[in-house]
């Protein structure tokens, strides 16, 4: 009963919200057009090495479709939760800047519109492509809310590398924006900037929702097991039990052996967390969130795996890493180097495999949908759009089917590799002698 009420509330919210957002959207649309034109004007007046990405096509098409940028925009984390182009649920925004301190407010203050671009700034922060940026150039009002006319995107040379830089347009002038801090050290075009974004973003909200859903589902099953221990499994138990037993009997026990009871909850948590989020990201019209395709999330999981494996590693495991028995000394040294690298490469592959697979799946689906716009020349050719749709629908459906398999396979692969790492670190001595390579 409670579930039904929840679903009805959710559905009514989804249906009612667009009508509320519609007024906002129309206003937004006007803004966008003025914004676009101002963009083009700026591009034409712009001289020198920096030029807008749109500028090349701006002469004949002011909104040329860029499938790569669109796909990445759609799989990126955001400070608003957008469902289609109508529903934009504001999320809490928690920002910290060294020179300024904490700023906590709702992302509704940005009045996000098309492309999740904010139409207002707040305390010197703006929302561009869904994520919060901080205005770096002086002259921009750093307190309260002002209307932002638009955003510009440029590629600049920095230390011999091309870097994407965004600008906000305010009162006809461009103000350089700082993106939020990232921990990639500049390898992936990010780095530490003037502020850090601690907001519970779209990905965080998805994680909370999926975790809660899984928890309630498992709690229900656990109660059923507790209250009717002699009854045959029914309902939700019927789905969860085979998966639970699969992880226990085919993942935990073969790899870890007798000690599997200690690690089983972790393996199950990892499996269901990843599976739930993979599937949540595959639901159409629910924001197509890319949680398990975000490196931040898989990095955390991989770090936890690294800690669990190495904290529980026994002397036998460490012996095999630093001083491999039964081989000549030069090879011992060589193997120690390789094994120490392997210590870090193992969780690194876990992290990259999951994020890469899920992101790639999302990009593939978005690219197939993008065919509609490519064939339709961004809405200029109706016939082209129809052909694009006819091609796109079967391809997208095929890709989605594959993605559902990938959702299960990647969750399984992450879990089984975790189990094998734990098993290798904790296995008994005599056991290892037999299977030793």
Partner 1 sequence: MFNLVTFTPFQPTPGLAIWSLVIFLLFWFLMSKFAFKPIAQALAKREGDIQDAMDAAKKAREEMVNMKSENEKLLAQAREERAKILQDAKEIKNQIITEAREKAKEEASKIATNAMHDIENQKKAAITEVKNEIGNMALSIAEKVIRKELKGNTEQETFVNTLVKDLHLN
Question: Within 13 Å and on the Cβ side, how many CA atoms surround 64?
Answer: 13
**According to CB under 8 A, which one of 109, 154, 180, 346 is a site residue for partner 1?**
180
Q: Is 399 exposed, middle or buried (0-12, 13-18, 19+ CB in 10 A)?
A: buried
Provide, rounded to whole angstroms, the least separation between the CB of residue 241 and partner 1: 7
Q: Do the Cβ atoms of 67 and 376 come closer than 8 Å?
A: no
Residues 276-305 that bind partner 1 (CB under 8 A): 290, 293-297, 299-301, 304
Kindly indicate which of the ranges 8-16, 169-177, 266-274, 319-327 contains the residues binding partner 1, using the contact rule CB under 8 A: 266-274
Helix extents (H) in 56-175: 67-75
Q: Which two tokens stand for residue 316?
A: 């036998």
Q: Does 268 bind partner 1 (CB under 8 A)?
A: yes
Strand order across the 92-97 sheet: 101-106, 92-97, 195-197
**According to CB under 8 A, which one of 20, 84, 222, 327 is a site residue for partner 1?**
222
Provide, rounded to whole angstroms, the least separation between the CB of residue 124 and partner 1: 18
Q: Do the Cβ atoms of 235 and 224 come closer than 8 Å?
A: yes
336 versus 352: smaller Cβ distance to partner 1 = 352
How far apart are the C-alpha atoms of 71 and 191, rounded to whole Å? 22
Q: Does 67 bind partner 1 (CB under 8 A)?
A: yes
Q: Does 218 bind partner 1 (CB under 8 A)?
A: yes
Q: Does 214 bind partner 1 (CB under 8 A)?
A: yes
**According to CB under 8 A, which one of 77, 116, 178, 427 is a site residue for partner 1?**
77
How many residues sit close enough to partner 1 to count as binding (CB under 8 A)?
Answer: 70
Provide, rounded to whole angstroms, the least separation between the CB of residue 296 and partner 1: 4
Phi, psi of 187 (to 5 degrees): -65, -40
296 versus 349: smaller Cβ distance to partner 1 = 296
Q: Does 103 bind partner 1 (CB under 8 A)?
A: no
How far apart are the C-alpha atoms of 132 and 119, rounded to whole Å? 12
Residue 135 CB partners (closer than 8 Å, separation 6+): 121, 124, 125, 126, 142, 168, 175, 176, 177, 178
Q: Is 122 exposed, middle or buried (0-12, 13-18, 19+ CB in 10 A)?
A: buried
Q: Which two tokens stand for residue 86?
A: 């109508």
What is the phi-psi region of residue 122: left when phi exceeds 0, alpha when psi lies from -120 to 50, beta otherwise? beta
244 versus 408: smaller Cβ distance to partner 1 = 244
Provide, rounded to whole angstroms, the least separation between the CB of residue 182 and partner 1: 4
* Torsion of the alpha carbons at 201, 205, 206 and 212, rounded to the nearest 10: 160
Q: Does 75 bind partner 1 (CB under 8 A)?
A: yes
Q: Does 390 bind partner 1 (CB under 8 A)?
A: no
Identify the helix (H) or strand (E) that includes residue 87: strand 87-90
Q: Does 269 bind partner 1 (CB under 8 A)?
A: yes
Q: Is 48 helix (H, G, I), strand (E, B) or coil?
A: coil
**According to CB under 8 A, which one of 25, 38, 46, 72 is a site residue for partner 1?**
72
Provide, rounded to whole angstroms, the least separation between the CB of residue 248 and partner 1: 7
**According to CB under 8 A, which one of 7, 11, 63, 208 is a site residue for partner 1?**
208
Q: Does 114 bind partner 1 (CB under 8 A)?
A: no
Provide, rounded to whole angstroms, the least separation between the CB of residue 292 and partner 1: 10
Pick the closest to residue 147 from 96, 111, 176 (CA basis).
Answer: 111
Which residue spans within 115-267 are E strands per DSSP?
Answer: 125-128, 131-135, 150-158, 161-170, 173-178, 195-197
Kindly indicate which of the ranges 20-28, 65-73, 326-334, 419-427 contains the residues binding partner 1, using the contact rule CB under 8 A: 65-73
Q: Does 94 bind partner 1 (CB under 8 A)?
A: yes
Identify the helix (H) or strand (E) that includes residue 93: strand 92-97
Kindly indicate which of the ranges 36-44, 191-199, 336-344, 375-383 contains the residues binding partner 1, using the contact rule CB under 8 A: 191-199
Residue 50 CB partners (closer than 8 Å, separation 6+): 154, 155, 156, 165
Residue 344 CB partners (closer than 8 Å, separation 6+): 306
Q: Does 348 bind partner 1 (CB under 8 A)?
A: no
Q: Does 106 bind partner 1 (CB under 8 A)?
A: no
221 versus 321: smaller Cβ distance to partner 1 = 221
Provide, rounded to whole angstroms, the least separation between the CB of residue 363 and partner 1: 9
Provide, rounded to whole angstroms, the least separation between the CB of residue 72 and partner 1: 6
121 versus 359: smaller Cβ distance to partner 1 = 359
Residues that bind partner 1 (CB under 8 A): 53, 57, 64, 66-69, 72, 75-77, 94, 131, 153, 164, 179-184, 188-190, 196-201, 203-204, 207-208, 211, 214-215, 218-219, 221-222, 225-226, 229-230, 240-241, 244-245, 248, 261, 264-266, 268-269, 272-273, 290, 293-297, 299-301, 304, 355, 359
């Amino acid at each position: 009963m409670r579930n039904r009420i929840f679903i009805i509330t959710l559905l009514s919210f989804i249906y009612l919200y667009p009508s509320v957002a519609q007024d906002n959207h129309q206003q937004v649309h006007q803004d966008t057009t003025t914004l676009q034109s101002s963009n083009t004007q700026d591009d034409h007046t712009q001289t020198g090495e920096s030029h807008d990405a749109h500028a090349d096509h701006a002469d004949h098409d002011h909104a040329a479709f860029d499938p790569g940028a669109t796909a990445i925009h759609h799989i990126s984390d955001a400070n608003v939760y957008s469902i289609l182009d109508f529903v934009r649920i504001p999320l809490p925004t928690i920002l910290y800047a060294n020179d300024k301190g904490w700023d906590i407010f709702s992302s509704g203050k940005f009045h996000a519109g098309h492309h999740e671009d904010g139409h207002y700034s707040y305390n010197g922060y703006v929302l561009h492509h869904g994520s919060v940026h901080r205005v770096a150039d002086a002259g921009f009002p750093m307190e309260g809310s002002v209307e932002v006319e638009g955003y510009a995107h440029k590629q600049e040379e920095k230390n011999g590398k091309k870097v994407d830089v965004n600008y906000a347009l305010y009162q006809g002038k461009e103000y350089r924006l700082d993106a939020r801090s990232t921990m990639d050290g500049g390898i992936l075009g990010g780095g530490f900037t003037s502020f850090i974004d601690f907001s519970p973003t779209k990905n965080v909200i998805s994680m909370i929702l999926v975790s809660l859903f899984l928890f309630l589902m498992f709690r229900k099953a656990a109660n059923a097991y507790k209250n009717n221990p002699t009854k045959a499994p029914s309902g939700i138990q019927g789905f969860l039990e085979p998966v639970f037993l699969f992880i226990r009997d085919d993942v935990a026990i073969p790899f870890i052996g007798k000690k599997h009871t200690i690690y089983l909850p972790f393996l199950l948590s990892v499996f269901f967390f990843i599976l739930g989020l993979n599937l949540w990201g595959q639901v159409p019209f629910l924001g197509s969130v890319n949680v398990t395709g975000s490196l931040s999330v898989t990095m955390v999981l991989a770090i936890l795996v690294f800690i669990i494996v190495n904290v529980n590693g026994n002397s036998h495991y460490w012996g095999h890493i630093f001083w491999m028995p039964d081989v000549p000394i030069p090879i011992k040294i060589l193997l120690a180097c390789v094994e120490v690298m392997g210590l870090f490469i193992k969780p690194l592959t876990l992290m990259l495999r999951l994020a890469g697979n899920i992101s790639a799946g999302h990009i593939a689906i978005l690219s197939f949908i993008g065919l509609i716009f490519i064939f339709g020349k961004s809405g200029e050719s109706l016939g082209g759009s129809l052909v694009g749709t006819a091609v796109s629908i079967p391809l997208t459906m095929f890709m989605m089917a594959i993605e559902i398999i990938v959702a299960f396979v990647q969750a399984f692969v992450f879990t089984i590799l975790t189990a094998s790492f734990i098993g290798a670190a904790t296995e008994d001595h005599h056991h290892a002698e037999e299977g030793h390579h």
